[in-house]
Chains A and B, each alone.
Chain A
Amino acid sequence: MNPNQLEDLENIDIEIPLFLEAIFQKYGYDFRDYSTAHIKRRLMHRMAIGRFETISQMQDKVLRDKSFFISLLEDLSINVTEMFRDPEFYSSFREHVVPNLRTYPFIKIWHAGCATGEEVYSLAILLKEENLLDRCQIYATDFNRRVLDIAKLGIYPTQDLEKFSRNYIESGGKGKLSDYYTLKYGSLKLDQSLSKKVVFADHNLVTDNVFAEVNLILCRNVLIYFNKDLQNKVINLFFKSLSSSGFLCLGTKESLRFTQLESNFANIDSSQKIYKKRIN
């Protein structure tokens, strides 16, 4: 095997943890326990685009150039999302979680890692159709401020509209998605009444503490980017944040299976990854 190439790969495995340590020390963002495969792919591509020869060279740059750090932050925080993503999740939510929520006079909800907000508006639509929205206080957080700004506006390109509408119908929506938005200048703007009960806020799941005590947490397609240790840590944070019998909803491919607190949650829908905190 070509010894240079092999050595490159070995060096990269040494350099990446150092690089992440440098970012943490300098900017306070902690990627040290993210999935290595994910981080490596992102950094290798940034290295190629920026024509850096080594990760160490790139480290030099990131320490001295804040704007370069911001672009790395964008690389490392994958903001891909859509309205009513995984429609089956929403129909299961209607069936299994909504009846329970109905018994609460007041409902606090936390979307952790809400990205550009499509998930938040989707759930708000569902809650409105179930006549629950008025009783809710919703917190929607992410560690990327740029996406939070988009989430607050609730304006999205129309190119995804077809997909959103299809998802809405498949999710068991009771009306038409067009009941909830207006079209303007090639964009769709969601009805402001949907976000009346929402507070968007900057929160880092790795470095910040319990955000509020809530009855329901949605954290979908975020843990997938973390390693096992960090998943455990964040699940622990969720456990502490949930009121007794509170619900936890993860992404379809995420689970509590490899985490220490698995036995502290009951499975409500194992294929849609809806869990309920056990009373102990």
Chain B
Amino acid sequence: MFRAAVIGTSYGGLNALKAIIPHLPKDFPLAIFVVLHIGDNKNDSFIQYLNKQSKVKIKEAEEKEEIKAGTVYFAPPNYHILIENNSTIALSTDPKIHHSRPSIDVLFESAAWHFKNQLIGILLTGLNHDGALGIKEIQKYCGITIVEDPETAIATIMPASAIEIMKPDYILHLDQISKKIIELSKLD
């Protein structure tokens, strides 16, 4: 049984997330963590927008917050997000990685160590290499990995650089991804 999913994306990410999160059912049994690169900009209006469109609850992650199933946590701009071993959220102002804070690698790695084989890692459209090492780490600890098909991604570099260094369990078109996550979430 899966306990969590992590999603990483940068350029084109707003569109990609709109194609996934609104499709998740109300009683979705996993917690979801999202790193979206948006520079110094605020997340608020996008979170508000997604909340209107979606059945799951979406919010910005808070320091020391307890993780709940059926909730989508966005990393706040300018902070890395990590998972503590008592299932709470940690934030950090460590240096940027791949010019990014929040960094996908930081989230993926710490989620991989915590959730191990109960994790789904999803890497979407983006213009840099962040997330490739992270999704490889998820695979190392037996999580399921999904990478958006570079053919259909708005920006190919991010998914393509993951596929270069690992073999994802699924390479999917954007419109197939929510279906796959829901299917996996139902497994025992």
Identify the A interface with B (CB < 8 A).
Answer: 1-2, 5-6, 9, 13, 35-38, 40-41, 44, 78, 80, 221, 224-225, 228, 251, 253-255, 258
Contact = CB atoms under 8 A, between A and B. Distances in A.
Contacts of A228: 64
B83 A37 contact: yes
Contact of B82 (A1, A9, A37, A251): A37
B85 A36 contact: yes
7 contacts: A5-B140, A37-B85, A41-B94, A41-B106, A44-B113, A224-B63, A253-B91
Interface string B43-65: 00000000000000000001110
A5 B64 contact: no
A254 B85 contact: no
B117 to A, nearest CB: 5
A13 B110 contact: no
Query: Which residue, of A2, A36, A78, has the highest number of chain B Cβ atoms within 10 A?
Result: A36
A40 B62 CA distance: 20
Nearest to A255: B63
A182 B95 CA distance: 27
Contact of B116 (A1, A221, A224, A253): A1
B171 to A, nearest CB: 22
B13 to A, nearest CB: 21
Given A5-B140, A6-B116, A80 B85 contact: no
A78 B64 contact: no
Contacts of A251: 93
A41 B90 CA distance: 12
A1 B142 contact: yes
A6 B142 CA distance: 9
A2 B142 contact: yes
Contacts of A225: 92
A81 to B, nearest CB: 8
